[in-house]
Amino acid sequence: MTKILFVCHGNICRSPMAEFIFKDMVKKNGRENDFYIESAATSNDEIFMGRGNPVYPPAREQLLLHGINPDGKTARRLTKADYDKFDLIIGMDKMNMRNIALMLGEDKEGKIKKLLDYCGGGDVDDPWYTGRFKEAYDCIYRGCSALFDELN
């Protein structure tokens, strides 16, 4: 079983979109037993008194438009233990990658990757700041498709 953790700043937009897009791909291809998929944040910005916020409404709307329901997902923070638990830890942009490295330390096993490195490189821009949730969905979908293809 391949265990994948998608990571962004707050775990309410990009990384949950990646988590649920990838889960949907896995399900549609009959591979649910081959993957374990979660998402996490590099910050505590969306976690209050130990409780994480749900998927941000515009990100949730994009998922629902594609028949993907993220209900029940709440933000959680990346932990050092995640490095041992997951086979791949996938960030969305260069700032996420920097913060993941600061939080987890040296990537001795080569587990830490950037999503769009699977399809030509670049960053998934944070739609929290840009308001471009459709574009973020499309970009994440492209990256997840390339990742899925590589893992098959």
pLDDT of 105 reads: 94
- List, for residues 47-62, the tens digit of each pLDDT value: 999 999 999 999 999 9
Mean pLDDT score of the chain, rounded to an integer? 97
Has 126 been annotated as catalytic? yes
Q: How confident is the model at residue 152 (pLDDT cuts 50, 70, 90)?
A: confident
Q: How confident is the model at residue 121 (pLDDT cuts 50, 70, 90)?
A: very high
51 Cβ neighbours under 8 A, 6+ residues apart? 74
**What torsion, rounded to 10 degrees, do the Cα atoms 48, 49, 55, 59 define?**
0
Has 31 been annotated as catalytic? no
Average pLDDT of the segment spanning 33-43 = 98
Tokens describing residue 36: 């374990």
Q: What are the helix and strand counts (H, E) for the chain?
A: 6, 6
State the pairing for strand pair 112-114/88-91: parallel
Catalytic residue among 13, 14, 77, 93: 14
- List, for residues 79-100, the tens digit of each pLDDT value: 999 999 999 999 999 999 999 9
Average pLDDT of the segment spanning 21-46 = 97
Whether the pLDDT of residue 40 is over 90: the answer is yes
Has 34 been annotated as catalytic? no
Average pLDDT of the segment spanning 103-122 = 96
Whether the pLDDT of residue 42 is over 90: the answer is yes
Catalytic residue among 13, 82, 126, 139: 126
Average pLDDT of the segment spanning 65-75 = 97
